[in-house]
Structure 1
Amino acid sequence: MDEPAADDGMLDALRQVPGAVSRTYLAPGVKVMFESINKNACTSLKWMMADLAGEDLDTFQAGWQPFTSHTDAVHNRNLWKASPRLDRLSPEARAEIGPDHGWFVFAVVRDPRVRVFSAWQNRLLMQIPIAQQYREEWWYPRHPVTRESVLEDFAKFVDLLDQHPEHKVRAKDPHFRDQVELLAEHAIPYTRIYDISEMGQLRADLAAHLAAQGHARELHIPKANPTPLRAIGAAFEGGVREKIERVYAADFERFGDRWDFAKVENAAPWRDADLDACESESELSLRIYELHELARSQREAAEQARARVAELEAELRARDTHAADADAGGLIARVRRRGSRRAR
């Protein structure tokens, strides 16, 4: 009698959440699974997962991708070789993932007010290449930055999210989507969902798990993807805070008791050096975008030139073959004529 098929509910449920399967990172050798949530220390934690999975960290290079740092290469899923994708495991292997089978399954959440400011700064204010598609929009941030322009332009962006919650910048970019959606708690059997303020506890819990697995080791969690401007109270005045809380109501309903906004309200104002650093990062990102577009254009031109050369070479070969066939045909005809004369 055939064995019953393993329950594949987790994969089926995750496929209903856009991008959830690709945001799932596995280290099967140490039974660790991480569901990545954008702008919640995800770059650092992906490096940790790559190390735990046994990836060759030296192979994570930016290459042709328009990254501002090789650190960002960890986001290129094609570079991951040792860590299996969830959808490429057998159903039986997937059914074993969960705390009941000794797995450590985790994710990290963050105050949506701080998260959206960080995401806006990182994606739009600092002008990463993918953000160039929005350059002509009324809500795109101005440059060079000033304290006033940053506050005003962030408020414009929050207005966009509030007025158009289905706008593609939110619907398509997971940096601006609800964390409760990205977590997919209905599908994933979490050991624990940590707040970003609990990174120390995450380290301790994960170290204890690894020790129990017989893999006691130092965790590789590099600092990555910093933003020059911290979230400060002034950025959330004039109704901005209330709009964010309305847009991300689902996150606040699920995790709101974790977040103390007083730290943001009491944060020190930006220094001139912070604003200068932000503008420098912005200029670097814009220059990388320009160089990437130039390189892409040159690459396409080179590919077209190679294709044209191949066509011309094929034409020449065809002509040579035709000429050779003609010469051979003429030789055969002459031989036949000579043979005919001799026969007479």
Structure 2
Amino acid sequence: MKRDRSGHFLMAQNARVLYVPTTKVASSTARLLLAEANGTYRPERLRWTDAPNISVDQGIHNLEVSGLQYFEFLPETQRDHILKSSNWWRVGLLRDPYARLYSVWENRVLLRAPSPWLKNFQHKCSEVLIDGRLDYAASFRKFVNVLRAEPEIFGDDPHFKSQRTHLGGDQVAFTHLFRVDKPGELDIFATQLGQRVGMKIEPRRLNEGLGLKHLDVMDAQTASVVEQIYEDDFDAYGFERVSFPSISPIALASVGETKAINYARDVTARLVQLSQLARYRQRSRYLLAQILRNSGLRRHKKHR
């Protein structure tokens, strides 16, 4: 069943904040801020989940850890109240589309972070190597052209969707929109949120990436393609169309860095396998127990 357009909206009930997440726009940082403000952050629960988290910090995306709630599961009357009430904040975050797409490529394509949607894109977006060294810039530019020509191979992975799609178009009347690519904007959000709940909270930069920026890999032709793909974001949110060099830059990884990236991919793939095995075993135990009960071979436990 297809989810409602508000299916990814998150609610911090105690803080009275509706947060509309956008992938690769400080989503992990925002979730952590909201979980802390909501008083529901429980990192100790991560050990009991079977999600393929690369780090403890990434566990914030698990609702068992954050304590945030999905907006779509509320009664309609309560949803309407939250969307209209002056007592509720409705928060969204924005990011320069050039920087966001580079971050998406680095995370989803280069490092191959776990994704249930991405299956067979690697042969289309294989890296460009020069003497065994990864060329970040050429590899990114290759990916951008594939995204424009064959967007279907990226399926329903929300990381490749526009920010306007994430933010629900005109569905939400936002009380707060923060540009995370502008210095100090996340700090302002954290300060205002802390004041709202009467506590001091500070943003922690999570999922920082490899240290490169879109400025290191972008040329004029690629920037033009990005502007075409995310035209609705540029138009809706007033992002500046930047002039980039016409000469394509080269950004080479060292041989050691190239090997490290391949190793990181292998670790991620193994982690996904272990996660899938854990889920399979958990479900298998449940199904076996249910079959035994239904057949009368296992009795229900009596609660005293």
Per the shorter chain, which TM-score range? Answer: 0.7 to 0.9
When the two structures are superposed, what TM-score results if normalisation uses the length of structure 2?
A: 0.76
- Paired residues of 1:99 and 1:190 also in contact (CA < 8 A): no
Whether 2:3 is the aligned partner of 1:21: answer: no
| Match of residue 190, structure 1, among 165, 169, 174 | 174
SS of equivalent residue, structure 2 residue 93: strand
CA offset digits 1:91-124 (Å, max 9, x no partner) = 4443443586133322111122221121121112
Residue deviations 1:241-278 (CA, integer Å, cap 9, x gap):
22221111111122344465669x9x995663765654
The aligned counterpart of 1:40 is: 25
1:200 to 184, 200, 203: 184
Partner residue of 2:301? none
Partner of 1:334: none
Q: Is the 8 A contact 2:24 2:103 kept in 1?
A: yes
Distance 1:91 1:278, change over 3 A: same
| Residue 101 of structure 1 pairs with residue 83 of structure 2 | no
What SS is found at the alignment partner of 1:48?
helix
Letter in 1 for 2:206: A
**C-alpha contact 1:37 1:183 (8 A) present in aligned 2:** yes
Distance change in 2, residues 1:216/1:99 (3 Å): farther
Q: Which digits, 9 at most, give the CA deviation of each residue in 1:64-111, with x for residues without a partner?
A: 112212222222235554x44323444444344358613332211112
Contact 1:66 1:288 in 2 (8 A): yes
Pair 187,304 (structure 1): closer, same or farther in 2 beyond 3 Å: closer
Q: Distance in 1 between matches of 2:79 and 2:192?
A: 23
1:138 maps to 123
Residues 121 and 153 in structure 2, CA contact (< 8 A), matched pair in contact too? no
Match of 1:129 among 84, 92, 114: 114
Return 282-291 or 233-242, whichever deviates more.
Answer: 233-242
Q: Which residue of 2 aligns with 1:283?
A: 266
Q: What amino acid is aligned across from residue 15 of structure 2 in structure 1?
A: V
Does 1:154 find its partner at 2:131? Answer: no
Matching residue within 67, 91, 110 for 2:95: 110
Normalising by structure 1, we get a TM-score of 0.68
Opposite residue 23 of structure 1, the aligned amino acid is H
Contact 1:48 1:219 in 2 (8 A): yes
Structure 1 pair 251–303 and aligned structure 2 pair: CA distance change class (3 A): same
Q: Secondary structure at the match of 2:217?
A: helix
Q: Distance in 1 between matches of 2:276 and 2:70?
A: 31
Find the counterpart in structure 2 of residue 217 from structure 1: 199
CA contact (8 A) 1:230 1:270 kept: no
The structure-2 alpha-carbon separation of the partners of 1:227 and 1:301, relative to structure 1 and needing over 3 Å to count, comes to: same
Conserved in 2, the CA contact under 8 Å of 1:122 and 1:128? Answer: yes
1:55 to 33, 40, 58: 40
* Mapped contact 2:45–2:64 kept (Cα < 8 A): no
Counterpart-to-counterpart distance in 1, 2:240 and 2:85:
26
| CA deviation profile, 1:274-305 (whole Å, cap 9, x unmatched) | 65654443232123234335555666777788
**1:190 offset after TM fit, Å?**
0.5
Which is higher, the Rg of structure 1 or of structure 2? 1
RMSD over aligned Cα atoms: 4.0
Distance 1:168 1:134 in 2: 8
Amino acid at match of 2:56: H
Q: Which residue of 2 aligns with 1:241?
A: 223
Q: Distance in 2 between matches of 1:116 and 1:234?
A: 13
CA 1:32 to 1:268, structure 2 compared with 1: closer, same or farther past 3 Å?
Answer: farther
C-alpha contact (below 8 Å) 1:229/1:275 kept by paired residues: no
Aligned-partner Cα distance in 2 for 1:19–1:230: 36
3-state DSSP class of the match of 1:129? coil
More helix per residue: 1
Could you say which residue in structure 2 is the equivalent of 1:255?
237
Which among 64, 70, 76 is matched to residue 50 of structure 2? 64
Superposition misfits of 4+ residues, deviation over 4 angstroms: 78-81, 142-145, 258-263, 267-271, 273-277, 293-314
Describe the shift of the 1:277–1:49 C-alpha distance in structure 2 as closer, same or farther (beyond 3 A): farther
- Residue 188 of structure 1 deviates from its aligned partner by 0.8
Greater displacement, 238-247 / 273-282: 273-282
Identity of matched residues, %: 18
Q: Answer yes or no: is the 8 Å Cα contact 2:190–2:202 preserved in 1.
A: no
Call closer, same or farther: CA 1:198–1:310 in 2, change over 3 Å: same
Preserved CA contact (<8 Å) 1:229 1:270: no
Cα 1:247–1:34 shift into 2, 3 Å: same
> How far 1:157 moved relative to its partner?
2.3
- What letter matches 1:71 in structure 2? D
Q: Structure 1's 131 and 27: CA in aligned 2 closer, same or farther, altered over 3 A?
A: closer
